[in-house]
Amino acid sequence: MKWNLIKQEWRQNARGFWICLTTLLLLIVLLLSKADAFIGNPDMTKLLDSLPRALRDAFGIDGDSFASFEGYAASQVYPYAMLTLACFSAVWAAGTVVKERDRGTGEFLFTLPYSRLNIFFSKIVAQLVLISLIFVICSAVTWLLGAATVGVESPSGLLLMLFSGYLLTLAFAGMGYGLTSWFQGERAAWSTALGLVLGSFMLNMFSGGELVDTVRNLSLFRLFDPASLVRGAGLTAAGCTVTLGLYIAGIALGAFTLRRRDLL
């Protein structure tokens, strides 16, 4: 890994980083700004009980969704914040190699006195730093807003729930790394990456019927139950294995493919 390559990747993704961070912060602030009006409100509990079970399952709402800040964050903030970060992570990863060819910089970059793997892993480290920085900032803002308004009863449960979303973003990034060398254009990479994330998210919203529930379990968003995590349940071994496994396997596949494809 080379420091100058890492900095170059940061410069290339700077605009996307600020767009992602700003979007997430606005989303979090807007969703949490009315949290005190929902949490502990008996009228909201009655309204929740009146909703069809299939609808509640589709949107991840349960009896604890309006009982505490953690429950509110798990059902109202977590799904959409993690969806946004996963989209950006997958797009960055899918464009790792193809964007150089699409922008006409590939010939220069891949003829530098660095191996292809050195370039590839430098880009991965740079993107991991960006993803991690966004996650840390947004997690801190979520916790601070909760502490300043209705109070956070279980900080560890809240942070564990948010960390499960971080693992999901790494899984989608791993898919992008595994595919990046196969794309012929940056737009194709972006559309495929977004399709993977949005498709998985939509699968998670399916509800009703044995067949539908079976299909729903194919979604990566089903690996962790945010409502259980904020109640004290730990991260499942299966969830950690699948997410980290996809991330590592995607990087390995991307590195293997990059060494054997003609990129220029």
Q: Indicate if the pLDDT at residue 209 is higher than 60.
A: no
Q: pLDDT grade, residue 167 (50/70/90)?
A: very high
Dump pLDDT digits (tens) for 52-105: 565 556 556 666 666 678 888 888 888 889 999 999 999 999 988 888 776 777
Q: Give Cα separations from 24 to 69, 167, 238 (angstroms).
A: 18, 17, 28
Dump pLDDT digits (tens) for 101-132: 767 776 666 666 778 888 899 999 999 999 99
Q: Which of 41-50, 138-147, 213-222, 238-247 is least confident?
A: 41-50
From CA 261, how far away is CA 49, in angstroms rounded? 56
Check if the beta carbon of residue 180 is closer than 8 Å to that of residue 97. yes
Which residues fall within 8 angstroms of residue 95, CB to CB, at 6 or more apart?
176, 180, 186, 189, 190, 193
Q: Give Cα separations from 105 to 5, 101, 108 (angstroms).
A: 13, 6, 5
Q: What is the pLDDT of residue 213?
A: 66
| Phi/psi at 188 (5° precision) | -65, -40
**Which is more confident, 164 or 45?**
164
Tell me what percent of the residues of the chain surpass a pLDDT of 90: 38
Dump pLDDT digits (tens) for 213-238: 677 778 888 888 888 888 877 888 99
Q: What is the pLDDT of residue 108?
A: 62
How large is the greatest C-alpha to C-alpha distance in the chain, in angstroms? 66
Q: pLDDT grade, residue 248 (50/70/90)?
A: very high
209, two tokens? 């019927």
Average pLDDT, the chain: 83
Q: What is the pLDDT of residue 242?
A: 95
From CA 218, how far away is CA 228, in angstroms rounded? 19
Check if the beta carbon of residue 21 is closer than 8 Å to that of residue 134. yes
